[in-house]
Structure 1
Amino acid sequence: MAMGFCDDVKAAAEQIAAAPEITIISHIDADGISCEAILSQAISRLEIPVKSVFVRQLEPLTMPQVPDDPSLKIFSDLGAGQQNLMLDRGLTEKDVLIIDHHVSQPCEREYTQVNCLPYGHTRMSAAGVSYLVAKELDNANIDLAQLAVIGNVGDMMAREKCGLVGPAREIIVEDGIRHGSVDVRKKDLNCYGTATRPVHLSLAYNDDPFVKGISNNPEAARQFLKKLGIRQQAPDGRWYVWEELSDDDRRTIISGLAQQLMANGEKTDRLLMESYRFPGEIPRTPLRNAQEYATLLNACGRWSKPQTGGAILRGDRGGAYRDAEHMLNNHRAILRELLQYIVDRGVKELEYLQWLHVGGKYPDTIDGSGAGMALPKRNPGKTILSMCEVPGHHT
């Protein structure tokens, strides 16, 4: 890492260690929820009183949620671009610490900030930065590396390169491996649902890469596996998931998909990815790998229960996990409906972007997710802008 970034991490750790009490203000997505869980646990281990506030956005309407007390305010996964709000609130340099990965806003007051972006670390999320600060506080916080992996993957940091890169890979993932909480499969199939979906559904619901004759066609995917001689069901009728298959079966499927892509003149460069699994979690649950774990956290945040996601990251596998599963099932159903709505209605294309407006039919916490899912089905080379109506506001 760049020396200046290391200095910023060290300065942040010193500011935290010297604080008599702390308030964490974090975002509601998987990255922000992971940030809060990392920081709050690291701070609690120092026996410093800490409380947390989650916000959808840091804006004038949500600033009143930031308590007016003498605690150090840590803004995580937000704040870099909203420093004028802190200035308007009268917060001093000693009152604020920003841990972020977004573009920073110029401000006449120099708040302490740890931001990976100015140092060229464009593929690391705020959870990654939070973890580096936690590790600087105490090397024993290496057990929190798993949470940082979840946050990074949830913020799509692994999507472009089919795996994490830079400090997120070289430091955070490696720490997780050393701790034993993270298991890496370097050349895994690039698909979602490897811990929870029947294999044929994982293949059918995957469109990155799009495999003609298999993607979006569950029955064709099932027949594809059958022709390869892959046993798809256990003796009791339960469908196998990807992670339950033998190495030989996985290689056979990957080879078959590669042949299918090449036969249709398509590239195979997106077929494989580096996957991050958590061997300490229960098999066949969303907690078993970084992608599905992050989706669970996003469901909690999008339905206004980020604290539930935080409880799961702290180890709650009882009531919080059951609530999250319910939200996840609802989240998936609504996203499927939204995706179909976008596909059916289409988007408006301009020279440099494409846009859509879903009206008041879907909440503003998920319209962006739906647009992101629809992008590969529209024009993936052009930025997509999604808009919706917010109760009490006009878009």
Structure 2
Amino acid sequence: MAMGFCDDVKAAAEQIAAAPEITIISHIDADGISCEAILSQAVSRLEIPVKSVFVRQLEPLTMPQVPDDPSLKVFADLGAGQQNLMHERGFSEKDVLIIDHHVSQPCEREYTQVNCHPYGHTRMSAAGVSYLVAKELDDANIDLAQLAVIGNVGDMMAREKCGLVGPARDIIVEDGVRHGSVDVRKKDLNCYGTATRPVHLSLAYNDDPFVRGISNNPEAARQFLKKLGIRQQAPDGRWYVWEELSDDDRRTIISALAQQLMANGEKTDRLLAETYRFPGEIPRTPLRNAQEYATLLNACGRWSKPQVGGAILRGDRGTAYRDAEHMLNNHRAILRELLQYIVDRGVKELEYLQWLHVGGKYPDTIVGIGAGMALSKLNAKKPILIMCEVPEDRNLTKVSMRTTERIVEKGIDLQKALSEASAEYGGGGGGHKIAAGAYIPKPAEEEFVIRVNRILGEQFAAKDPGNR
């Protein structure tokens, strides 16, 4: 790691250790929930009083949730781009510590910050930074590495390179392996649902890579496996999941998928990925691997119960886990409905993006996820922009954007596009190259879409002048 970043991690740990009491303010997604679980446990082990507050976005509407008391305010997975709000609230430099991985915005007051992004560690999430701080506090916190892996994978840090890289891989994953809580498969199938879905459904619902004749077609996927001679069901009729298959069967399937891709002139570079399993968890549950565990946490956060996700990360396999399973089932049902709504209603296409407005029909916490899921059923060559109402303020509109790794490789950066465009209309945005969000004034909606389209066109042209 960069020396300056190591110094920042050490300074953050020292500030935490010296605090008489701490309040953690974290985001509601898998990364934020993981941050809170890592930091709160590390702080509690120092016998420092700690309480937590979850917010879905750090904005003027949610700042009152941050207590005005003598505690050190530790902002995790947010704060780097909202330091002006802390300044306006009257927090001094000694009141605040920011642990983040998003692009930092300048502020009159310089708050202590440990952020991997300025040091070039752009593929590590805030849970990864939180873990490094926790480990600096005490090497015994190595048991929290598993939580950091979940947060990183949940925040799509493994998606672009088909596995974690940099400090997230070299330090955090390796610590998890040393501890025995993380098991790494270096060349596994790049597919979701390998612990819980029947194999044919995992293949059919996967679109990265998109395999013609199999993706989006469960029956075709089942026939594909049947022709390969793969036993798909146990004697009792139970469908096998990917991780239950023999190594030979897995190799046979991967080889056949590679042939299918090449036969259609497609690349095979995204067929395999490094995956992270948790051998201490019960087989055939979402807790068994990082991807599905993160989805469970996201379900808790998106349905306003991030504390339930935090309890699971702390080991609750009773009431909290049952509640989370219920939320996960509801989460999936609503997402399927949203996906169908997007496909049925259709999108409006501009030169460099496709977009639609869902009004107040679906919660603003899930529309971005639905947009990402819809890409394979729409035009995956164009980023998708989806708008929805904000229940707490009808004068605002929430904007979510998603794209694919292939489009990011062509120069697209959704975070920059939304940040730039939203700022021009008095709003604010952030996120990552592949997934980003923003809030804008409702009257600016149509102009905003046109402006984002123009910015994306400039990004395409900057990478390849032939796109002008």
TM-score scaled to structure 1, two decimals? 0.97
Deviation sequence 1:97-156 (CA, Å, 0-9, x none):
000111111001110001111111111110000000000101110100000000000001
Bigger shift: residues 135-144 or 213-222 = 213-222
Query: What secondary structure, in the 3-state scheme, does the structure 1 residue paired with 2:356 have?
Result: strand
CA deviation after TM superposition for structure 1 residue 381, in Å? 3.9
Q: In the superposition, relative to structure 1, how do residues 167 and 223 fare at CA in structure 2: closer, same or farther (>3 Å)?
A: same
- Inter-partner Cα distance in structure 2 for 1:249 and 1:393: 44
- Inter-partner Cα distance in structure 2 for 1:103 and 1:118: 8
Q: In the superposition, relative to structure 1, how do residues 393 and 166 fare at CA in structure 2: closer, same or farther (>3 Å)?
A: closer
Residue 28 of structure 2 corresponds to residue 57 of structure 1: no
- Inter-partner Cα distance in structure 1 for 2:349 and 2:136: 47
Query: What secondary structure, in the 3-state scheme, does the structure 2 residue paired with 1:40 have?
Result: helix
- Inter-partner Cα distance in structure 2 for 1:392 and 1:49: 58
- Inter-partner Cα distance in structure 2 for 1:207 and 1:375: 9
- Inter-partner Cα distance in structure 2 for 1:158 and 1:347: 29
- Inter-partner Cα distance in structure 2 for 1:308 and 1:2: 35
Structure 1, unpaired ranges of 5+: none
- Inter-partner Cα distance in structure 2 for 1:217 and 1:30: 29
Deviation sequence 1:205-229 (CA, Å, 0-9, x none):
1111111111111111111111111
Query: What secondary structure, in the 3-state scheme, does the structure 2 residue paired with 1:188 have?
Result: strand
- Inter-partner Cα distance in structure 2 for 1:80 and 1:19: 21
Query: What secondary structure, in the 3-state scheme, does the structure 2 residue paired with 1:388 have?
Result: strand
Q: In the superposition, relative to structure 1, how do residues 257 and 128 fare at CA in structure 2: closer, same or farther (>3 Å)?
A: same
CA deviation after TM superposition for structure 1 residue 352, in Å? 3.5
Q: In the superposition, relative to structure 1, how do residues 99 and 393 fare at CA in structure 2: closer, same or farther (>3 Å)?
A: farther
Deviation sequence 1:11-63 (CA, Å, 0-9, x none):
00000000000000000000000000000000000000000000010111111
Q: In the superposition, relative to structure 1, how do residues 46 and 228 fare at CA in structure 2: closer, same or farther (>3 Å)?
A: same
- Inter-partner Cα distance in structure 2 for 1:94 and 1:384: 41
Deviation sequence 1:243-284 (CA, Å, 0-9, x none):
000100100010111111111111111111100000000000
CA deviation after TM superposition for structure 1 residue 393, in Å? 38
- Inter-partner Cα distance in structure 2 for 1:193 and 1:82: 35
Deviation sequence 1:146-167 (CA, Å, 0-9, x none):
0000000000111111111111
Q: Number of residue pairs matched?
A: 394
Query: What secondary structure, in the 3-state scheme, does the structure 1 residue paired with 2:23 have?
Result: strand
Query: What secondary structure, in the 3-state scheme, does the structure 2 residue paired with 1:16 have?
Result: helix
Structure 2, unpaired ranges of 5+: 391-464
Deviation sequence 1:298-345 (CA, Å, 0-9, x none):
000000000000000000000000000000000001111111111222
TM-score scaled to structure 2, two decimals? 0.82
Query: What secondary structure, in the 3-state scheme, does the structure 1 residue paired with 2:389 have?
Result: coil
Q: In the superposition, relative to structure 1, how do residues 72 and 393 fare at CA in structure 2: closer, same or farther (>3 Å)?
A: farther
- Inter-partner Cα distance in structure 2 for 1:292 and 1:324: 12
Query: What secondary structure, in the 3-state scheme, does the structure 2 residue paired with 1:392 have?
Result: helix
Deviation sequence 1:45-96 (CA, Å, 0-9, x none):
0000000000010111111100111000000000001001100111000000
CA deviation after TM superposition for structure 1 residue 354, in Å? 2.5
Residue 322 of structure 2 corresponds to residue 322 of structure 1: yes
Deviation sequence 1:163-199 (CA, Å, 0-9, x none):
1111111110011000000000000001110000011
CA deviation after TM superposition for structure 1 residue 392, in Å? 45
Q: 1:225 maps to which residue?
A: 225
Query: What secondary structure, in the 3-state scheme, does the structure 1 residue paired with 2:467 have?
Result: coil
Bigger shift: residues 340-349 or 32-41 = 340-349
- Inter-partner Cα distance in structure 1 for 2:62 and 2:389: 18
- Inter-partner Cα distance in structure 1 for 2:119 and 2:135: 19
- Inter-partner Cα distance in structure 1 for 2:305 and 2:274: 30
Query: What secondary structure, in the 3-state scheme, does the structure 2 residue paired with 1:20 have?
Result: coil
- Inter-partner Cα distance in structure 2 for 1:350 and 1:121: 34
Supply the RMSD in Å over aligned alpha carbons.
Answer: 4.1
CA deviation after TM superposition for structure 1 residue 373, in Å? 1.4
CA deviation after TM superposition for structure 1 residue 378, in Å? 2.8
Query: What secondary structure, in the 3-state scheme, does the structure 1 residue paired with 2:269 have?
Result: coil
Q: 1:171 maps to which residue?
A: 171
